[in-house]
Structure formats: C-alpha cells, structure tokens
Amino acid sequence: MTLPEPRRDPSAAVLPAALSGEALWLTPEDPRWDALVARSALADAYHRAAYHALAEARGEGRARLFAWREGEAFVALPMLLRPLAEIAGLEDETGCDAGSVYGYPGPIASSAPLPEGMAGRFGRALAAGLGELGTVTLFSRLNPLLDQAPLLAGLGEVHEHGPTVSIDLTRSPEERRAACRKATRYDLRRLEEQGFTVAPARSGEELAAFAGIYRENMRRVEASAYYFFDDAYFTRLAREFGEDLMLLLCRQEGALAAGALFFRSGSIAQYHLSATATPFLAAGPVKLVLDAAAQHLGARGAKCLHLGGGRGGTEDSLFRFKAGFGPGRHLFRSWRWVLDPATATRLAKRREALRGAAPAGFFPAHRA
C-alpha cells in the first residue's frame, strides 16, 4: 500500500517567520542523508540511509530524513511514514503516522554546539512539515547510548521502559571476562572445553546458512511474520553495510551451532540478530559468540558493544542473559508525540469499536 501524496511538499511548509533556517526532507537515495549522519556528534548504524531503505523495501513505510539546518548546525530525524489506510478497518482514512525502524534510532545533531533555541525551532519546523503530510502521531525508539532527550524538549512525551546492557570494549579480554557473572564465565569455559569455536563468516553461503537457522528460531518461538527476514534481506544488509556489518559463526566439529550479526558505526557496535541451531540449544553457544564479538569489534575500533535489553524493556530472561556479560547499563526510552489530537482520539474510538480497547500503554492506540 502506498502513502497518499501530501497536500503539498512538506519542505515547502509555511514556517513561522522566526524560523530562519532550512528544512530538508531527504529520501534514502539522497547522499545528503548519510553526509549528515557522518557529521553528527554521535550517530549509529540505525540512522543510516541504507538501513531505512531496507525497511522501506520490506513495506514498513516511506523512509524520510527530516533535517533542520541553521548554517553548519543541524538537527535531523529519520522516520518511516506509514499510511493510516493500511490499518484493517481504517482503509478509508487519509494521512499517516510517523514511526521508526527496528532498532535504536531517534534524532541526531551536528557536532558543533547548537545555536540557542535551535532544538525548539527544529520541533516547530518538524511539526509544520508533518502537518503538510497529514501526520497524526509520531513514535520513535530512542538510542540508549546517545543523549537525545535535550533535542526533544517540549515535543510530546519521552517514556522510560527499562535498562539495556553493554560491554566495555576498552577493557582487555581478561578484564571483560572478570566483569561477567560467575555463571557466564563458567559457561564460556565449558563451551571452549567442549570444542566450540567462533570465527567471522567469509562467504555468501555462510550468510545463507545463518539466515536458515535464524528463520528456524523464529518458527520455534512462533514469532510474528515481521521477523521472518528472507535471504534477500540478509544479502542486501551485507552488501549495503560491508565492513560495518559482522557475522560471527560458532561451530562444533564443523557443525553450525549459532551465529550473530553486529553493526559497527564509529565507536558504537550493536548486537542486531542472533540464532541457535535446534540441536545446540541446551549448550547455549550464543554466549561464546558474544564474547568473541567483543574481541573482534574492539579490534575494529568500537569502544562499546550494546546488547540491548529484555522484551518490551522488561528485566526478563533475555535481559538476565545479556546482563551476565557485565555491569554496563543504559536506559531505553521511546518518544511519543500526538500531532493531531482530535484525529488520534477519533481513530482510537474506531479501532476500539472494531477490535476492543487497545492494550494499556500501546502507542498509537489505533495501531494496536
């Protein structure tokens, strides 16, 4: 389903006279997108144009980067514009919601100190442009490693969800293992003693093998259709990110036991996807993959390996598994902004009449 055309180009939105800057709406094909990411004080792989283009190709929305520039200073926000008409029962609606890619994006800003009041001017310009698109709500996951909250002051609400975990890659391998929980250190030694080894993937055949056990995992846990990434997804990810994407594979006596994909962007590395072959579930070889990733990514210049948190930001079994790798903790937040309250209320009531009340806390309610 395609997004209805905006009433006019959001770049031409009528801005208050006080906003003496330039508003840009960039597509992933525009080289200025990644140029701004490269100039950001701190940015991540989840901000890259290629990652958003991949989400767009999977039908997740129309990828755009909104940027507000004042001279050399800028604030920018990547997003996916999602039509309201794609929601079952709301096919007659026009307009859209703004969402975010899978991962940890949120706004970015130039490395130079921002001019006084620029964050507020960014927000007003963004609201004007989104208004031209008929945008009802905006939702974005925020990056736990980046200080993004000051860029969002007065724009909707920032919700706190729970802790995430990271590994300090500036420590030596011995120091990193010493920082692990006793049970994690024991499991790492056990896996090594049992002959499990980890090495980077070197071929397309290895990438396809990982993709196969990944989908096997998704079937086993009865994941939603969204998470069944096909071979084309993995192939394009590898092509677009090159050396900034690393696949580590764990084997025992030649048999593929587990693997994981990692992004690297400057000093930040992100644990993206992992999988374990069914016969090796009891052994837990992904632990050895994460331990090896710290070594490989640190050698590539990363200073922090972010493992993420538990499901939905909770301190569940997934969080406890990650927490075994060290004391590094960060707070996962999301940004929620209702740009058109009257329409949001009306849509929530339509959704409730069709399928009952949305789960508590789900945003926006009409997409529950």
Q: Alpha-carbon distance 271 to 219, whole Å?
A: 21
How far, in Å, CA of 329 to CA of 165, rounded? 5
How deeply is 253 buried, as exposed, middle or buried, from its count of CB atoms within 10 A (0-12, 13-18, 19+)?
exposed
- Summarised one tens digit per residue, pLDDT across range 135-159 is 999 999 999 999 998 999 899 999 9
Contacts with 17 (C-beta within 8 Å, 6 or more apart), sequence order: none
Q: Is 368 helix (H, G, I), strand (E, B) or coil?
A: coil
Query: Three-class SS of residue 275?
Result: strand
312 near 277, Cβ under 8 Å?
no
CA 156 – CA 102 distance, rounded (Å): 21
Q: How far apart are CA 345 and CA 290, in angstroms?
A: 44
- Show contacts of 207-210: CB within 8 Å, 24+ apart: 207/234, 207/235, 207/238, 207/247, 208/234, 209/249, 209/256, 209/259, 210/234, 210/247, 210/249, 210/256, 210/259, 210/261, 210/275
Per-residue model confidence (pLDDT) at position 3: 46
Please tell me the number of Cα atoms within 13 Å of 25 on its side-chain side.
21
C-beta separation of 350 from 89 below 8 A: yes
Structure tokens at 214: 């990944």
- Measured CA to CA, the distance from residue 273 to residue 132 in angstroms comes to 36
Please say if the pLDDT value at position 207 is more than 80. Answer: yes
Supply angle C-alpha 293, 263, 180, rounded to 5: 35
List 336's β-bridge partners, or say none.
139, 157
Q: Residue 288's closest CA among 171, 144, 145, 173?
A: 173
197 by Cβ neighbours in 10 Å (0-12 / 13-18 / 19+) ranks as: middle
pLDDT digits (tens, 9 = 90+) for 230-280: 999 999 999 999 999 999 999 999 999 999 999 999 999 999 999 999 999
Q: Map out the domains of the chain with their CATH numbers.
A: 10-160+334-367 (3.40.630.30), 170-302 (3.40.630.30)
Residue 330 has pLDDT above 80, yes or no: yes
Cα-based distances in Å from 246 to 202, 225, 236, 330: 10, 25, 13, 23
User: Cβ atoms within 10 A of the Cβ of 329, count?
Assistant: 12
Q: What is the number of helices (H) and of strands (E) in the chain? A: 10, 13
Q: In the predicted model, is pLDDT for residue 126 greater than 90?
A: yes
* Predicted confidence (pLDDT) per residue in 145-198, tens digit: 999 989 998 999 999 999 999 999 999 999 999 999 999 999 999 999 999 999
Scan for tokens 């006279």, then name that residue.
17
Which DSSP helix (H) or strand (E) runs through 264?
strand 255-265
Q: What pTM did the predictor assign?
A: 0.92
Q: Cα–Cα distance between 251 and 285 in angstroms, integer?
A: 9
Q: Does a cis peptide bond (omega within 30 degrees of 0) precede residue 364?
A: yes
- Determine how many CB atoms are found less than 10 A away from the CB of residue 19: 17
Please state, in angstroms and rounded to a whole number, the distance separating the CA atoms of residues 297 and 101. Answer: 23
What pLDDT sits at residue 2? 47
Looking up tokens 């094909």 gives: 29
pLDDT at 13: 59
